[in-house]
Chains A and B, each alone.
Chain A
């Protein structure tokens, strides 16, 4: 178990498209790191560079004291020699090999004996509930089974670093929930370092021990999931994490709600460009009790909560409430704001601390 260290990694595709921009970051050993970001933010490219499937135009990648890549002295360790586990979104099971052949492929590459292969296969078969599937071909498996075979194939050679590229996005929602639990259990049992790429913030929040939010080829913030949620360093992170997303209000020409929110933070308006309010920080009260008046526009029950669309000083915001709202659509309510969940950003979209 070692730490993964990227130093000033830069990667261009073609001449003008910058995929990863001077990225320096260290992922500690034993962590479950999620690279989270929208498509095209460079997260998969970063993962593929760690795997050696792409190489950076510049910079260094270290794994413990092994040098995976260095543009300083021209080191490049071939993917085949990096000894890591990688799982693709498509699973990339070989359609012409049976479950058994797929899983023991890595062991054959390591020239293991027949007995070792059998023993390891039996272990994995039990661990991933693959009993009876040994001679099936991938096309004869369900989505969940394919997923487990891909996991087993990756783990057969006991890699200490696992790279996962959106492995859950092809599953239906129930199965995804199950596999999330499975992955979490696996991480606890193996203790290996896992780097996991996803664009699904819910997945990142529930799985990771730390999240790296990426945007336009850089990491905007690397922190524990709850820290990402509670103290986002930038407007981008604040907007990307959370569902329904944070309400964002421009200070300029913001009207009464801006005055009201700025008053709550006890800051002056001068340096603030944008305000952000988490939906759960908006409380709906009676008109008299509220600091500001709003009109209910929509009510969406989700089962556990109610997502309420509100119009306040001409702007739409969403609030989330665990109790059924007393007002109906079209009626007036009063709003008050909780201080946590209220964020302010400067003209560079960076967070301003105020508490």
Chain B
């Protein structure tokens, strides 16, 4: 080398100048820093707030006990775990939750595995349609199946119109109408499509050559399944187990609808009643426990997935497994699969629809059918207007669209921006921080996260006013909860595009705005549409996240249906759920049109 002349490290001022001139041409740093502030406030602050609420005196308790507001206290921890009422608010609900989750998960897992095997690998009749139809329960609002159940099986323990079976003169026993059995069954029916999806994907990913090798070595179909396919499905099975348990623990609608009449309390409903009775300290402790269980389950899942990574077989040539012939079992298995579809998806829909069309339950005379509950004209024994004329329903409909719509749009755009910042600042603190923090809400059950949000935004803090009772609180909490999905898909969308198209524009003289408008935006168009429709669908049927945040005037369709149920207006509740179902189905069809793929992949996350 020639004479090495080291230029001294540039001075601070010079470095700042270089940084500045770069910022104008590539503002990812500015965007990233801005996001760090926003996400810290929206994700970390609620968590910190609820942690501190669990060990600080509330204003009310401060007055009652003569202490000072905000003082350190063990009171709430004691009340939840050790006091005389701990049995009622924590220990029994915990046991109930675990029991119900265990059975629901077990049923969902078995159903999912059997159906996935049948649909992906056998000549069962209608396999092409079943692949799509069996996912429908997953798209229904979570209270649909439970509401249908109670419409069918309710007995005189609860007031209101007759249950369908009652109307036929059959009196269903309490254990069939309310409590652990129906809760576990309904949860299993809502969540088996998730297991079905994961197992189907796993089965489709297994390299067919692995099986063909076994066959050439003399293995029969049974041996191929027991020795090759089943062992390869172990990691998926673990994932399904852990994730389904996590989901069932955080579910609110089913235990609320089916458990409350029998005073059968789960952790989620116990948390809800503490919110209703304004015990924010107890709420904080319960929410922390619920999150803790949820986080543990998901962390175990993440580590299991990592550990079994070596099991991931990169598909060879993408050849589909030829469907094996079921022979004499073809008809029975076909009937089984279609029955499951009917019970989980079609059945609830029919029950809900029928109940709103029949003036008196159980009377199938043609004259008994009509649109009374929809139009509000000539409704027997009800002081409520019909669905189309009810001011509550109209407000709820408007709110649902407004909230889910705005949340979806904000979430979709925010997700892409997070993706941009994460991908364009590789190796930086900002990138790692955004990636981690935007993922955090995924770990917390919606109910617990809502409690955390409530604890932060119930009162005004600094420049931010108290948001409780406002639509913006609901929009915010949805945005933050769906952010993990949005930012993950944003990151992968940005990764897929890579920096080159933008750099190619840069070299040819295009500035930041020009690049964003002419290159980045068109490339991300379809990703953005998906990133908006998916949270919209989830938002339309969201209940557990918003149920403790709504106030009269900010009710959504989902919470309004719960209100109707609370007051015994079963038909109105059912009609409201049908409206949600219709909106969701239309959105799904739009999504299918846009992506031209099976929505299964999108909802699997």
* A31-75 CB contacts (< 8 Å) to partner B: 51-53, 55, 58-60, 69, 71-75
Q: Write the chain A residue with the least CB distance to B519.
A: A94
Q: Is the CB of B10 within 8 A of A72?
A: yes
Q: Is the CB of A51 within 8 A of B510?
A: no
Task: Write the nearest CB–CB distance from A112 to chain B, whole angstroms.
Answer: 11
* A1-54 CB contacts (< 8 Å) to partner B: 7-8, 13-14, 22, 24, 51-53
Task: Write the nearest CB–CB distance from A95 to chain B, whole angstroms.
Answer: 7
* B6 in complex: contacting residue of A22, A55, A106, A154, CB < 8 Å: A22
Q: Write the chain B residue with the least CB distance to A23.
A: B1
* A71 in complex: contacting residue of B18, B427, B498, CB < 8 Å: B18
Does A236 touch B at the CB level, under 8 Å? no
Does B218 touch A at the CB level, under 8 Å? no
Does A229 touch B at the CB level, under 8 Å? no
Does A80 touch B at the CB level, under 8 Å? yes
Contacts of B525 in A (CB 8 A): 96
Alpha-carbon separation in the docked complex, A76 to B13 (Å): 14
Does B31 touch A at the CB level, under 8 Å? no
Most buried by A among B5, B501, B507: B507
Task: Write the nearest CB–CB distance from A5 to chain B, whole angstroms.
Answer: 13
Q: Name which of B21-29, B233-241, B284-292 contacts chain A.
A: B21-29
Task: Write the nearest CB–CB distance from A164 to chain B, whole angstroms.
Answer: 12
Most buried by B among A75, A80, A96: A80
Alpha-carbon separation in the docked complex, A86 to B503 (Å): 9
* B501 in complex: contacting residue of A51, A58, A71, A92, CB < 8 Å: A92
Q: Is the CB of B510 within 8 A of A80?
A: yes
Given A79-B506, A80-B506, A81-B509: A71 and B7 interface contact (C-beta under 8 Å) = yes
Does A88 touch B at the CB level, under 8 Å? yes
Contacts of B509 in A (CB 8 A): 80-81, 83, 106, 109-110, 157
Contacts of A69 in B (CB 8 A): 18
* Residues 125-151 of chain A, each 1 if its beta carbon lies under 8 Å from chain B, else 0: 000000000000000000000000000
Alpha-carbon separation in the docked complex, A78 to B505 (Å): 12
Q: Is the CB of A14 within 8 A of B7?
A: no
Contacts of B511 in A (CB 8 A): 80
Q: Is the CB of B523 within 8 A of A78?
A: no
Does B220 touch A at the CB level, under 8 Å? no
Interface SS of B by simple majority: helix
Number of A-B contacts defined by CB within 8 Å = 110
Given A105-B508, A109-B508: A8 and B14 interface contact (C-beta under 8 Å) = no
Does B9 touch A at the CB level, under 8 Å? yes
Does B398 touch A at the CB level, under 8 Å? no
Contacts of A80 in B (CB 8 A): 25, 506-507, 509-511
Q: Write the chain A residue with the least CB distance to B3.
A: A24
Task: Write the nearest CB–CB distance from B362 to chain A, whole angstroms.
Answer: 58
Q: Is the CB of B6 within 8 A of A8?
A: yes
Q: Is the CB of A7 within 8 A of B523?
A: no
* B485-515 CB contacts (< 8 Å) to partner A: 498, 500-501, 503-511, 514
Task: Write the nearest CB–CB distance from A340 to chain B, whole angstroms.
Answer: 26
Q: Is the CB of A96 within 8 A of B523?
A: yes
Given A74-B14, A92-B501: A86 and B507 interface contact (C-beta under 8 Å) = yes
Alpha-carbon separation in the docked complex, A52 to B25 (Å): 11
Does A218 touch B at the CB level, under 8 Å? yes
Does A85 touch B at the CB level, under 8 Å? yes
Contacts of A312 in B (CB 8 A): none
Contacts of B6 in A (CB 8 A): 8, 22
Q: Write the chain B residue with the least CB distance to A25.
A: B2
Q: Is the CB of A92 within 8 A of B503?
A: yes
Contacts of A88 in B (CB 8 A): 500, 503-504
Alpha-carbon separation in the docked complex, A81 to B25 (Å): 10
Q: Is the CB of A58 within 8 A of B18?
A: no
Contacts of A14 in B (CB 8 A): 427
Contacts of A86 in B (CB 8 A): 503-504, 507
Q: Is the CB of A79 within 8 A of B14?
A: no
Q: Is the CB of A78 within 8 A of B7?
A: no
Does B37 touch A at the CB level, under 8 Å? no
Q: Write the chain B residue with the least CB distance to A96.
A: B522
- Extra contacts besides A80-B506, A153-B508 (9): CB < 8 Å: A13-B427, A59-B7, A71-B9, A76-B18, A78-B22, A80-B510, A94-B505, A105-B505, A157-B509
Pairs across A and B, CB under 8 Å, 17 listed: A7-B7, A24-B4, A53-B503, A55-B18, A55-B22, A58-B10, A59-B7, A72-B7, A72-B14, A74-B10, A74-B16, A78-B22, A79-B503, A94-B505, A94-B519, A94-B522, A106-B509
